[in-house]
Amino acid sequence: MLSNIRIVLVQTFHPGNIGQAARAMKTMGLTDLVLVTPRRFPDHEADRLAAGAEDVVADARVVDTLSEAVSDCVQVVGASARLRSQPLPHYDEPDVMAQTLVELAAEDPVALVFGRERFGLTNDEIQCCSHQVSIPANPDYGILNLSQAVQVLAYEVFRAWRQRPDSGYQTPRPSTGPLPTRQQLDYFHAHLSRVMHASGFLTQPHARTEQQLQALFNRAQPNRKELSLLRGLLNSLEESL
């Protein structure tokens, strides 16, 4: 599915941007890079800035026209900051664009096209596209660096993909350690209560204060080890009082 999503860079001026774009792609699971008449390629700067994504750079295809680059694609989205007078269907939101592309990519190749650093895509190149997308940005300064734009849209594509039930993507989560039972937590709260009374902090049962502290500790979600630590602290306090 992600292998069906092609990134096309048109007439990239700085080879370093090709390298950084390749790295951005690879971090988001994309591997199909096509370059339309890049100014200088292959180039040492592209490899240097690829930083672990040299395979994406090495496998990049170079073609002479955008039309060649996307002829087999069923949807071609041009990333463009400029609004055109002959508007293509336009995605306001990159996440909506990404969901559509990922859906289509289950069956057929699709492409995301990026233009030149300074000049973007020409009107003729926009005509090779079926859709247009903009990255919503600061109205006073809204042009992202080329490889940054690739990173943001690749991020949205990866997000759309991993949120699908069929992606099998597992979010790495820090392990919490085993959690205490409700009974162990009750013992802890009773212990805390005794210490609060013994210290003179509470002179009589004070349901509200006790509930507030229980809520706080519930939010903290102590694991068993942490609860042990807290019980140990309460023991020491009790002995000293």
Interaction site with its own copies (CB under 8 A): 20, 23-24, 26-29, 51-53, 83-84, 87, 90, 92, 134-139, 141-145, 147-148, 151-152, 155, 158-159, 162, 169, 171-176
- Residue closer to its own copies (CB basis): 34 or 150: 150
Beta carbon of residue 154, minimum distance to its own copies (angstroms, whole number): 9
Burial of 181 (0-12, 13-18, 19+ CB in 10 A): exposed
- Residue closer to its own copies (CB basis): 16 or 38: 16
Q: How far apart are CA 162 and CA 158, in angstroms?
A: 6
Q: How far apart are CA 95 and CA 161, in angstroms?
A: 11
Pick from 57, 78, 56, 59: nearest CA to 67? 78
Beta carbon of residue 41, minimum distance to its own copies (angstroms, whole number): 20
Q: How far apart are CA 225 and CA 222, in angstroms?
A: 8
Beta carbon of residue 190, minimum distance to its own copies (angstroms, whole number): 27
DSSP of 121-190 = --HHHHHT-SEEE-----TTS----HHHHHHHHHHHHHHHHHTSGGG----------PPPPHHHHHHHHH
Beta carbon of residue 50, minimum distance to its own copies (angstroms, whole number): 10
- Residue closer to its own copies (CB basis): 186 or 232: 232
- Residue closer to its own copies (CB basis): 123 or 199: 123
- Residue closer to its own copies (CB basis): 69 or 161: 161
Beta carbon of residue 167, minimum distance to its own copies (angstroms, whole number): 11
